[in-house]
Structure 1
Amino acid sequence: MPEEIKLIQPAPVDRDEYGMFQHPDLPDFEEGDGEKCKAWVAQQGLQLFMISLESDALEEIADRYFQSDEPHRGYWEPGKPEGDGWFCLAIHDTDDGRWSVADPRMPEPNEKLTCVIESLDGTWHRPFTTLELAALQSLVEPEEWLELDGLSDQAWRERIGNAVPPAAAEAIAQVIGTTLLLAEAGETFLLSNMPVWVQSVAIALSVAKQQNQ
């Protein structure tokens, strides 16, 4: 039986006499344990967010930190990112100043999400559907039925994102083939009027609307 993974849970932020804090279940990673730390974060299903005193704190608090020699930094209350589920893992001094590390639990693979990217002025656009992403990659026409192997929409979107559009793949192959043939012929430089295959274009999606009978 595989060993059951104990997931780290939110804990009260009890700071020490210097204003520092470390979650009691956070492993003591040493300098150079970067890969080990990444593996632990992935195993826990966490998403880390670093908060700097210099950019997070009010001006008077930041000035107090940089201008005073007092060892206690408890006067800084770190903010937290937008959204729910964040909790504090640590508050520490570093070579780059005072930092707080917060994280939420990553959603489960089968958890359905509605993600919105909102601009500073409050406007937002709905995310692309899986079919629209495939159409943008020129893998299907917008009016076609799309069904890939497996039943995971997340896996579909990942595969679509990693795919190379057919037209781009053909252009890349032509350039590679031409380069190999020229190299075989001993040519190391070629000046031609061949257009660059990556060009700025305007793309519009047109999806036929079904009329309700």
Structure 2
Amino acid sequence: MPEETVLIDSLPVHRDADGWWSHPDYLSEFDDEITEEQFNDWCKRHQVETKITYMESDVSTDVFNVYMEEGQVDCSAWEIQPPNEPGWFILSIHDAEDGPVCIWGRRVTP
């Protein structure tokens, strides 16, 4: 039986005290790391394209250095700049191998 596909819509972003947030439907069927193929399949089923903003390239060197020096748990000083194109909304603000990232989503037509 095929999994029901939930189309993801923009939600108000309420970052926690450390600056993290994830859309409740973002990769909700996965418990741990996923492969690129699984991620691409998830995007196709949910009819979204994604874009990544890296904190390191979206803030001043001073802000990023404070993040690195303070134990890498608080990215709340990051004022994430949205993509220039219309329709993007935040799917997740989380830590990755290269530091904090913001995953943006935008509806695509299948």
TM-score, with normalisation over the residues of structure 1? 0.45
Indicate whether 1:37 and 2:33 are aligned: no
Indicate whether 1:100 and 2:102 are aligned: yes
Aligned to 2:24: 24
Query: Contact conserved, 2:11 with 2:23, CA < 8 A, in 1?
Result: yes
Aligned to 1:187: none
The structure with the largest helix share of the pair is 1
Shift of 1:87: 0.2
When Rg is computed on C-alpha atoms for both structures, the one with the higher figure is: 1
Q: Number of matched residues? A: 107
Identity, % of aligned pairs? 33
Moved over 6 A (4+): none
The structure with the largest strand share of the pair is 2
Gaps of 5+ in 1: 110-213
Distance 2:97 2:3 in 1: 37
What is the SS of the residue equivalent to 2:75?
Answer: coil
Q: 1:32 to 1:47 in 2, by over 3 A?
A: closer
Indicate whether 1:59 and 2:61 are aligned: yes
* Pairwise CA RMSD: 2.2
Query: Contact conserved, 2:67 with 2:74, CA < 8 A, in 1?
Result: no
Shift of 1:64: 1.6
TM-score, with normalisation over the residues of structure 2? 0.81
Considering Cα pairs closer than 8 Å and 6+ residues apart, tell me whether 1 or 2 has the greater RCO. Answer: 2
Distance 1:33 1:16 in 2: 27
